[in-house]
Structure 1
Amino acid sequence: MGDPGRKPTVSDEEILYVFQQSSDPVLTTSEVAEEIGIGRRGAFDRLRKLTEDGSLEMKKIGETGAVWWSPKALREQYSIK
């Protein structure tokens, strides 16, 4: 049985594409939410899930902030093997 709740309207691939297309090495939850057109809380939940499956990494900044990045996108952007 799948996850309860609303079906995602944005695919994981669309979220990861935001990181691939960004000129910034890290993005905030709000930046991703704005880019994909969903609420900040929904974006946070999706980013957390992508972190749990290893597609993204996250670092907490201050009390409530976080930045996210795609190791794969960084390797491609900077030609790192």
Structure 2
Amino acid sequence: MAGRKPDVTDEEIIAVLSQASDPVLSTNEVAEQLPIKSNATQIRLKELRSAGRISGKQAGRSWVWWVDK
């Protein structure tokens, strides 16, 4: 990834999803547990999805995310 070093690692984002008691989390639910803004969280989640590291889909106007177990 070019540019400034991310404040949060990919592994930290994946851990939020892996350790959740719910099967899926919204972007805002993930962002609440990280020190980055919701917009940045969504970008990072979409990058992780494109890389095949997590799954996600749009549900209405929101996105939901999960880790395949």
2:28 matched to which residue of 1? 30
2:58 matched to which residue of 1? 60
Q: 5+ unaligned residues in a row in structure 1: which ranges?
A: 76-81
Matched, 1:18 2:16: yes
2:48 matched to which residue of 1? 50
Root-mean-square deviation (Å)? 1.1
Deviation at 1:19, TM superposition (A): 1.2
Write the distance in 1 (CA, Å) between the matches of 2:18 and 2:55: 14
1:60 match: secondary structure:
strand
- Runs (4 or more) in structure 1 with deviation over 3 Å come to none
> Structure 1 or 2: larger helix share?
1
Residue 47 of structure 1 aligns to which amino acid in structure 2? L
The two structures have a TM-score, normalised by structure 2, of 0.91
Identity value in percent:
43
Q: 5+ unaligned residues in a row in structure 2: which ranges?
A: none
Count of aligned pairs between the two proteins? 69
The answer to which structure, 1 or 2, has the higher relative contact order (CA under 8 A, 6+ apart) is 2
